[in-house]
Structure formats: structure tokens, C-alpha cells
Amino acid sequence: MHPLRGTEVAKLLLDHSAHANMQDKQGLSVLMYAAYKGQTETAKLLLNHGAQVNMQSGFSALMEVSKYGHTKVAKLHGARVDMQDSNGWSALVATCIL
């Protein structure tokens, strides 16, 4: 038996009533972490389970993928490209500067 991978674990948890919009103490959502790590399949799974793509905690999931160049995850359905982080930067600014 092989160990479960991140997306498989996420699916298992979501299928057993875990919330797709869970946030940690800093307000970071599960989708933000998936975006930060470039986990395309996990991001899709979370979105299919109702994760809010524009949830923000100083920045959004789209801003995270923009900063780290995760282009496959950058195509998040419904992500607002005009949102700004706590410094007034948009995802486009983050892409160009960082």
C-alpha cells in the first residue's frame, strides 16, 4: 500500500465534511496553501468543493501563484485579477516585481 498523496488526503477529508474554506490562525486558506505550493490538482479539488477563490488575508490565492510562477494554478476559475494585497499590489504587480 502506498502512502496517500496531498490531493488524495484532501479529497478524503472533503468527502468526510471538511470545509474547503478552512483558514489557519493567520487567516490563510487551504486554497492559498495549495496555490503557494503549486498544487494544481488540489486547487481544482478545493474549487470543486466550494473554496472561495477570492478569499483574502492580506493577499489572495492568485497573488500567491503569481509571486511563485505557478502558471497552471494561476488559471483559478473566477479569480479577480484586480484585487490588491495589504501593500496595494495586484497579482500583476507581484508577478512583475517579485
* pLDDT, one tens digit for every residue, the chain (98 residues): 445 578 898 999 999 999 999 999 988 898 888 888 888 899 899 999 999 888 888 788 888 887 777 777 777 777 787 888 888 888 888 777 76
- On whether residue 62 sits in a domain, the answer given is yes
Residue-wise DSSP of 6-69: HHHHHHHHHHTT--TT-B-TT--BHHHHHHHHT-HHHHHHHHHTT--TT--SSS-HHHHHHHHT
The one-character DSSP state at 81 is: T
- On whether residue 1 sits in a domain, the answer given is no
CATH code, domain carrying 37: 1.25.40.20
pLDDT at position 1 is 43
Determine the structural domain holding residue 81 and report its residue range.
6-97
- On whether residue 71 sits in a domain, the answer given is yes
pLDDT at position 62 is 81
- On whether residue 38 sits in a domain, the answer given is yes
pLDDT at position 35 is 87
Query: Which pTM value belongs to this model?
Result: 0.78
The count of structural domains within the chain is 1
- What distance, in Å, lies between the first and last C-alpha atoms of the chain? 41
- On whether residue 28 sits in a domain, the answer given is yes
